[in-house]
Amino acid sequence: MLPSKFVEAANFPARWQEKDLQEYLAERLRRMGFHTQTEVAANGGRADIVSNWQGGTIVEVKKYLDRNSIYQAFGQLSLYGLNNQHKLIVMGFLTVDASEQPSALKTASMIEQNPRIKVIFVNLESEWLPNRQVGRFWLPNIFSLPKISLPKLPLSDWRFLMKIVKDNPLLIVLVIALLSIITSNLKQEFTRCYQQQQNWDCVFSSIYQG
């Protein structure tokens, strides 16, 4: 999208400034569900946008991104990024000067060799366009989900137990079958011990060893 079309669709004022684009991007991040602040003090300067987007992000906004403005933004972000692990992102419109566009794109690709840095030409990426519907992200809040507690089962209430029996007849059959197997094994062990003229200690010893 041409910057002029973007500005018109986003309802920027006629003589829009860099701050208008900054506020637009910050509001877009808020609508995505991210905590976002503007003009945040950072290592002797003021970061345009600071957000928990991508786990922590510092954004430097420029009206138009050409080779020089990208380098300038990169220098500012390098300062703001000291002593923290935030992602560092340059955002703005791709320069309208066609002769400057190749060098702007090349410069962006060069500094993006550092995985911490990213350059976003907002008029070229659909998720930032004014006519693009914003979707909220649930991942940033995944660790703030309420704790889940399981209800206590009233096992001492005989009516509750009878209801279980009534509603789950197959469960009772399985319990009876299991008890039958255990009883049969005990009977066989007792018979073996009796035949060997051993006492009950033999039975319990076999059970514990088994």
How far is residue 54's CA from residue 86's CA, in Å, rounded to a whole number?
9
Query: Tens of pLDDT along 52-107?
Result: 999 999 999 999 999 999 999 999 999 999 999 999 999 999 999 999 999 999 99
Among 84, 108, 139, which residue terminates a domain? 139
166 plus 135 within the same structural domain? no
Instruction: Decide if 82 contacts 72 (C-beta within 8 A).
Output: no
Average pLDDT, the chain: 80
How far is residue 104's CA from residue 132's CA, in Å, rounded to a whole number?
25
**pLDDT score at 186:** 65
pTM above 0.95, yes or no: no
Look at residue 112 and tell me if it is in a domain: yes
Look at residue 145 and tell me if it is in a domain: no
Look at residue 152 and tell me if it is in a domain: no
183 plus 121 within the same structural domain? no
135 plus 44 within the same structural domain? yes
78 plus 51 within the same structural domain? yes
DSSP 50-63: EE-GGGSEEEEEEE
What CATH number is attached to the domain comprising 50? 3.40.1350.10
**pLDDT score at 181:** 75
Domain total of the chain: 2
119 plus 165 within the same structural domain? no
State percent of the chain over pLDDT 70: 67
| Lowest mean pLDDT across 15-29, 157-171, 180-194 | 157-171
Burial of 134 (0-12, 13-18, 19+ CB in 10 A): middle
Query: Tens of pLDDT along 152-173?
Result: 444 455 565 566 656 666 666 6
Domain residues for 197?
A: 158-209
Look at residue 149 and tell me if it is in a domain: no
195 plus 135 within the same structural domain? no
120 plus 35 within the same structural domain? yes
